[in-house]
Structures are given as structure tokens and as C-alpha cells.
Amino acid sequence: MKNYLLSLTFAVTLCLCLASGGKAADSVHQQTSEYATIRWSGRDNTHVIRPSGQVEFVGAQLAKIKKPDRVDDRAFYMNVVMNALAKEGYEFAGISNDEIIMKRAVHH
């Protein structure tokens, strides 16, 4: 009887550990953010690299926007692209000389 209770306790504990172990491991490795990169290559060649790896050239859209006189091209057009990504839920994450990194939360 004592061996039976010990074996039963062990079996129940093992089943509980195995059942909850898979879920705990998955939640540790879930991606919480995704990133897009805006790359300045002049107005006509500026592009966005999406989290999926898709590259979207935005020069055609930028050409339709009237830039005010005496405003820096790079600052103006990068700002336009940043605001477009912000409407998709992205926020500023970092900057280098020719790139702006935008980040948004991943919803599971």
C-alpha cells in the first residue's frame, strides 16, 4: 500500500511537471517586440526594412509630399516616414547616421 501511494504521488507529480513545463518554456522565448529600419538613401531611394525582411521603397510616396523651402531633405523626409510608421504602432528605438530603428510590441 505504501509503495502504491508513493508511486501514485510520483506519477501525478511527473504528469503535472510535464503538462506545465511546455507552456513555461514557450512563454520565456516569445518575441515581445519587432523592429523596422528606415534607411536614408536620398529621397528617391529611401526604404523601410520590415520585421519580415520585406524592403519597401518609399521614394514614390515621398515625391508626392511638398517639402518647405530651406528645410533639410533628410530630416524632413525621415520625419515623414517615422510618422507613417508611428501610425502603424511603431515608436522610436534608435538612430545612426543614415538609419532610424522603430519598434512595436508584438501581440500574441
For position 21, what pLDDT does the model report? Answer: 54
For position 8, what pLDDT does the model report? Answer: 47
Higher pLDDT, 19 or 90: 90
What whole-number distance in Å separates Cα of residue 1 and Cα of residue 3?
Answer: 5
Residue pLDDT, tens place only, 22-75? 555 555 678 899 999 999 999 999 999 999 999 999 999 999 999 999 999 999
Average model confidence (pLDDT) for the chain? 84
For position 30, what pLDDT does the model report? Answer: 83
Indicate whether 14 pLDDT > 50. Answer: no
What whole-number distance in Å separates Cα of residue 83 and Cα of residue 74?
Answer: 14
Nearest to 48 by CA among 19, 73, 83: 83
Highest mean pLDDT among 4-8, 18-22, 61-65, 104-108: 61-65
For position 103, what pLDDT does the model report? Answer: 97
